[in-house]
Structure 1
Amino acid sequence: MDRVLWVVGLFVFWVAMIGLMYVGWRGRARRQADRVGELPTVPEDPGTQLLPATTGLYVGSTLAPSWQDRIAVGDLGHRADSELSRYEKGILLARAGASAIWIPRESIRAIRTERGLAGKVMTKDGVLVIRWELPTGTEVDTGFRGDDKSVYPHWVAPVPDGAPAPSPADGGTSAPSSTDNEDPTNASGSGEAPQNGEDA
């Protein structure tokens, strides 16, 4: 009998913890709703593709400059397998089982690599982070962990307008230094991510 009561008590405790987590997540979404607002829609014509699509994991988005203030509005908080592509008019993050995220070119503030984002910590420069401005004026960081991290330098490097960048197989592209200013929509790492964490 004591064993049964112990199991029942443990189950009730587990359910209560799940309930508290859900309530907390919903409360976070309500607090963030006005700052996040409506996301940009994917245009019918995104323009010329500038970078080849690369697969990976969408790790989440945060309210900048925090790397931990994870956005819970809509399905922005849902991690999902994704495909990241860059076009003349912006960046498309197509997510499996979730809505696509479109980042207009004029909204991009920086592209860098970090150790972690949205509570997910990986190896050094394990996450490609795109800082961009929502229509509400709020800046957010969107994180993508690529299956092939060798493509990161192509994303961090300046991309000429209307001209496709070389594919990863071509080589010869490296991440820009802090003095590279050819394209204001790209920037090197900011060092905001944690210094210690588990490997991806």
Structure 2
Amino acid sequence: MARILPAVLVTAFALLLLAAMFWAWRARKKRQAAFQNPLDAPATDARGAELGRASVLYVATTTAGEPLDRLTIPGLAFRGRGVVTVFEQGVSLTIPGEPETFIARENLRSVGTSTWAIDRVVETGGLVRFDWTYRADIGPAEVESYVRAIELGDAARLIAAANSIIPASQTPIHTQQEGPSS
């Protein structure tokens, strides 16, 4: 009997905590209702040649300049393993169990590196950051997606391939970021 009361209290606290997390995520999705449309990926033959591919750990997509504000875009709401493929017409991010995200080259603003986003801190330049424009219901929104390349050297190859499809007028001089987007 002496052990039942603490067990009930711990269980009740855990259930209360889970309920609070559920309601907080639901409220975030409601606040970000403009980001609820998945991005349409073009047919495979309309993407052009493959310029680069890497297995990655997808970290997050955030509002540009706000690396702690996770967005709930379908296919990009949760962290996971995935594959980033750079094509002549854009960048594809595929996470198993999620819809594919395709960032068209005209929406890609810049590519660089970062050290931290949300709850992930790595060595200097350990994250690859894609700065792009999401066409939301309320108009265009500037966002940043962060991935961590699994294999050594893949990050540099991804950055080089993605920078090759960005028009020269949009390519930033500095590709490393340690906070707000450049």
Letter of the structure 2 residue corresponding to residue 16 of structure 1: L
Q: What is the match of residue 40 of structure 2?
A: 41
Bigger drift between 147-156 and 110-119 goes to: 147-156
Q: What is the match of residue 21 of structure 1?
A: 21
Q: What is the match of residue 167 of structure 1?
A: none
Say if 2:135 is the partner of 1:148.
no
Identity %: 24
Q: What is the match of residue 112 of structure 1?
A: 112
**Cα 1:20/1:160, change in 2 over 3 Å:** closer
Q: What is the match of residue 197 of structure 1?
A: none
SS in 2 for 1:68: strand
Letter of the structure 2 residue corresponding to residue 190 of structure 1: Q
Letter of the structure 2 residue corresponding to residue 159 of structure 1: S
Contact persistence 1:75–1:99 (CA under 8 A): yes
Equivalenced residues, count: 172
Letter of the structure 1 residue corresponding to residue 131 of structure 2: R
Rounded to whole Å, the distance in 2 between the matches of 1:141 and 1:159 is 18
Structure 1 residue ranges without an equivalent (≥5) = 162-180, 194-200
Q: What is the match of residue 177 of structure 2?
A: 190
Contact persistence 1:110–1:184 (CA under 8 A): yes
Bigger drift between 37-46 and 184-193 goes to: 184-193
Give the drift of 1:118.
3.1
Give the drift of 1:3.
1.4
Contact persistence 1:67–1:119 (CA under 8 A): no
Which one has a larger percent strand, Structure 1 or Structure 2? 2
Task: Provide the TM-score with structure 2 as the length reference.
Answer: 0.85
Rounded to whole Å, the distance in 2 between the matches of 1:132 and 1:23 is 29
SS in 1 for 2:55: strand
Contact persistence 2:56–2:83 (CA under 8 A): yes
Rounded to whole Å, the distance in 2 between the matches of 1:135 and 1:106 is 11
Rounded to whole Å, the distance in 1 between the matches of 2:116 and 2:97 is 23
Give the drift of 1:72.
2.5
**Cα 1:40/1:122, change in 2 over 3 Å:** same
SS in 1 for 2:67: coil
**Aligned counterpart in structure 2 of residue 159 of structure 1, from 158, 161, 164:** 164
**Cα 1:25/1:73, change in 2 over 3 Å:** farther
Bigger drift between 81-90 and 71-80 goes to: 71-80
Q: What is the match of residue 178 of structure 1?
A: none
Give the drift of 1:101.
0.9
Bigger drift between 70-79 and 125-134 goes to: 70-79
Q: What is the match of residue 7 of structure 1?
A: 7
Structure 2 residue ranges without an equivalent (≥5) = none
Task: Provide the TM-score with structure 1 as the length reference.
Answer: 0.78
Rounded to whole Å, the distance in 2 between the matches of 1:66 and 1:37 is 19
Rounded to whole Å, the distance in 2 between the matches of 1:86 and 1:11 is 47
Contact persistence 2:134–2:143 (CA under 8 A): yes
Contact persistence 2:67–2:118 (CA under 8 A): yes
Letter of the structure 2 residue corresponding to residue 40 of structure 1: L
Rounded to whole Å, the distance in 2 between the matches of 1:43 and 1:93 is 13
